[in-house]
């Protein structure tokens, strides 16, 4: 089965820089006090989640707080997301990891900003 067939919502290609910090980890690691400013990139996004490439190792089940500028909406979006998929094979030798994350919590204002963004690019 094609992984695309399992997706709940259509993905849109983007190139967004994201800041994030660990909130919860399955292994009990303490929450991080500061957002990571590193070279963290969202390469696709949907109404339900996004694909993240980062130098930071995360476990499946980890919950992160994210912050990214959605230039088209002139808004910085804040949300919580959970790591639901991990690809540890592609870039570890280059210090890069790939993750599929699902939005877990988001203020209604930011949900509205994303919905407006998706409606505009989907039409």
Q: Exposed e or buried b for every residue in 72-85, given b needs 16+ CB within 10 A?
A: eeebebebbbbbee
Q: What is the pTM of this model?
A: 0.86
Residue 26's CATH number: 2.40.10.220
Spatial distance between the Cα atoms of 42 and 14, rounded to a whole number of angstroms: 7
Are the C-beta atoms of residues 123 and 83 closer than 8 Å to each other?
Answer: no
Please tell me the predicted confidence (pLDDT) of residue 57.
86
Q: Is residue 93 scored above 80 in pLDDT? A: no
Mean pLDDT of 79-86: 96
Q: Is the dihedral of CA 12, 18, 23, 26 positive or negative?
A: positive
Q: How high is the mean pLDDT of the chain?
A: 88
Q: What is the pLDDT of residues 23-72, one digit of tens each?
A: 999 999 899 999 888 789 999 999 999 999 998 889 999 999 999 999 88
Q: Which DSSP symbol is given to 119?
A: H
Alpha-helical segments (H) within 16-66: none
Please tell me the predicted confidence (pLDDT) of residue 48.
94
Q: Is residue 7 scored above 70 in pLDDT? A: no
Please tell me the predicted confidence (pLDDT) of residue 9.
76
Chain centre to alpha carbon of residue 27: 20
Domain containing residue 41: 3-122
Q: Exposed e or buried b for every residue in 16-39, given b needs 16+ CB within 10 A?
A: bebbbebbbbeeeeeeeeeebeee
Q: Is residue 98 scored above 60 in pLDDT? A: yes
Q: What is the dihedral of CA 26, 27, 28, 31, to 10 degrees?
A: -70
Please tell me the predicted confidence (pLDDT) of residue 90.
63
Q: Specify the number of domains making up the chain.
A: 1
Please tell me the predicted confidence (pLDDT) of residue 2.
47
């Amino acid at each position: 089965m094609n992984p695309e067939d399992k997706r709940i919502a259509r993905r849109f290609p983007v190139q967004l820089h994201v800041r994030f910090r660990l909130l919860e980890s399955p292994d009990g690691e303490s929450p991080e006090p500061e957002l990571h400013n590193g070279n963290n990139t969202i390469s696709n996004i949907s109404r339900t989640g996004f694909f993240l490439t980062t130098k930071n190792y995360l476990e499946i089940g980890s919950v992160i707080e994210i912050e990214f500028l959605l230039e088209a909406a002139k808004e910085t979006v804040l949300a919580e997301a959970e790591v639901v998929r991990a690809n540890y094979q592609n870039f570890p030798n280059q210090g890069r990891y790939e993750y599929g994350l699902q939005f877990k919590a988001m203020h209604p204002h930011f949900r509205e900003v994303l919905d407006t963004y998706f409606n505009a690019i989907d039409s």
